[in-house]
A = this chain, B = another copy of it.
Amino acid sequence: LEAGEVDQVYTLVEPLHPADIADLFEAVDADERLALSRAISDLMGGEVFAELNDHVREGLVDELSAEDIADLAEEMETDDAVALIEDLDEDEQQAVLAEMEPEDRAAIVSALSYPEETAGRLMSREVIAVGEHMSVGDLIDFLRDDRELATEFWEVFIVDARHHPVGTCQLSWILRAPRHVPLTDVMKRDQTLIPVTMDQEEVALRFQKYALISAAVVDESGRLVGQITVDDVVHIIQEEAGEDALALSGAGDGDINEPLHMTIRSRMWWLFINLGTAILASSVVAAFEQTIAKLVTLAVIMPIISGMGGNAATQTMAVTVRALATNQLTSSNTWRMIMREWWIASANGLGLGMLMAATCQLIYHDWWLSLVVVLAMVLNSLNAGLSGVLIPLGLDKLKIDPAVVSTVFVTTMTDTLGFFFFLGLASALLM
């Protein structure tokens, strides 16, 4: 495809949606991306760059001059331009900003002044805000006349003299009302305001909970400073929700476009920590070496007990982390959740423990061994269930992200105690 046939590539790519062009860049090999971007350089507008994966975009942006980047940023909405510029290093940022129109530059500088991953970075400054005195007809005339307005908006915000939002109007309400009706009769006073410093995860939960299409962003003094629209929130919802599976497994952000050495480093770091916990668990086994030497069968059954504990804990942990991330687990139902997991652990430990004991009895014909198996399974199941719920809850209380850290602690608990229960009971009852 890439073999010098620039025109052909261009003809193929031209009819595509910017989001599809961005996907195309992610699909081709890293060393072909530059050639592709040159072949279709005049299709590479702000919209395509806004849709690109961070790592892919960085690779392309490195090849551009500050002036080119500034041109791209000016085509974009504030929030996308900020995403483009925030990844550059300090010098490049200054060079790019110097090339921009004063107005756009001011908007971006002000956005960059808010912490990363907050509403301030996410919002677009282009927002339709009108005074309370206007009628529906006045608003329509205003919208028709003024050419310098936001390109995309779904709601109009009504503000008072101090620029504080007092109500929101869906465009459909305006279209359906007669011209003479005052806006204050059409608008909804009850609105969800987003403080400019709110974390983007919290913003996403608000949008989801109240089914918002757009929302007004206000600064510390309550003044309207921008709006966030749902299309900017949708990918945050998706990322934050999908992060759990990746974080619980220690796979970092799981971006398949991340440079290889970064992925190796982050994954190896996680495996290194887990190696530590595995060595800790195996030191428990080492303490019972004499017991195992007398009955090697223990070494055969041992991984089953710790493995079941690990699986049960992972289930509980995934549910707890998810419930915390979606604000379903609050102080009012924490106790119910813990009791719930206690019952599940008891039922599963007893059921599977008895099944496992029966299997052992069939193979080894040793009642005492079977008793050790069922006791160890029940104890480790309770240990797994309670670790799986209490450790994420504790981390959350300490303001540590439970998705990222829980697995290490929970695995340590189930492996170490799993071996200890089984080998300890065996040395007490069988030797």
Q: Please give the residue numbers on chain A whose beta carbons come within 8 Å of chain B beta carbons, in ascending order.
A: 17, 19, 23, 26-29, 140, 143-144, 149, 152-154, 170-172, 174-178, 190, 207-213, 230-231, 233-235, 237-239, 241-242, 244-246, 248-251, 254, 256, 260, 263-264, 267-268, 270-272, 274-275, 278-279, 281-282, 285-286, 289, 292-293, 296-304, 306-308, 311-312, 314-319, 321-323, 325-326, 328-330, 332-333, 336-337, 340, 343-344, 347-348, 351-352, 355-356, 359, 411, 415, 419
In the complex, A415 Cα to B308 Cα: how many Å? 13
In the complex, A285 Cα to B296 Cα: how many Å? 10
Residues of B within 8 A of A279 (CB): 304, 359
Q: Are B297 and A289 in contact, CB atoms less than 8 angstroms apart?
A: yes
Q: Are A351 and B175 in contact, CB atoms less than 8 angstroms apart?
A: no
Residues of B within 8 A of A190 (CB): 17
**Cross-interface CB contact of A249 among B231, B318, B325, cutoff 8 Å:** B318
Known contacts A174-B175, A343-B260: A268-B351 contact under CB 8 Å: yes
Main secondary structure of the interface of A (DSSP, over half): helix
Residue of B nearest to A246 (CB): B318
Known contacts A140-B175, A176-B143, A235-B208: A250-B311 contact under CB 8 Å: yes
The contact sample of 20 A-B pairs, CB cut-off 8 A, is: A26-B333, A143-B176, A144-B176, A152-B170, A154-B172, A230-B230, A230-B234, A234-B237, A241-B241, A245-B245, A249-B311, A249-B314, A254-B322, A254-B323, A271-B315, A282-B301, A282-B304, A289-B300, A298-B299, A299-B302
In the complex, A303 Cα to B259 Cα: how many Å? 32
Known contacts A172-B171, A213-B154, A244-B242: A312-B230 contact under CB 8 Å: no
Copies of this subunit: 2
In the complex, A175 Cα to B143 Cα: how many Å? 7
Q: Are B306 and A303 in contact, CB atoms less than 8 angstroms apart?
A: yes
Q: Are B19 and A209 in contact, CB atoms less than 8 angstroms apart?
A: yes
In the complex, A274 Cα to B299 Cα: how many Å? 19
Q: Are A210 and B293 in contact, CB atoms less than 8 angstroms apart?
A: no
Residue of B nearest to A170 (CB): B152
Residues of B within 8 A of A29 (CB): 336
Q: Which of A143, A272, A289, A296 has the most CB of B within 10 A?
A: A296
In the complex, A246 Cα to B242 Cα: how many Å? 11
Q: Are B348 and A268 in contact, CB atoms less than 8 angstroms apart?
A: yes
Q: Are B19 and A210 in contact, CB atoms less than 8 angstroms apart?
A: yes
Residues of B within 8 A of A175 (CB): 140, 143-144, 171, 174-175
In the complex, A343 Cα to B308 Cα: how many Å? 31
Residues of B within 8 A of A275 (CB): 304, 308, 352, 355-356
Q: Are B230 and A213 in contact, CB atoms less than 8 angstroms apart?
A: yes
Q: Are B213 and A27 in contact, CB atoms less than 8 angstroms apart?
A: no
Residue of B nearest to A179 (CB): B144
Residues of B within 8 A of A154 (CB): 154, 170-172, 213
Listed from nearest, the 10 A-B pairs whose CB atoms lie closest are: A241-B241, A245-B245, A211-B231, A171-B171, A299-B299, A249-B318, A244-B245, A241-B242, A251-B315, A249-B314
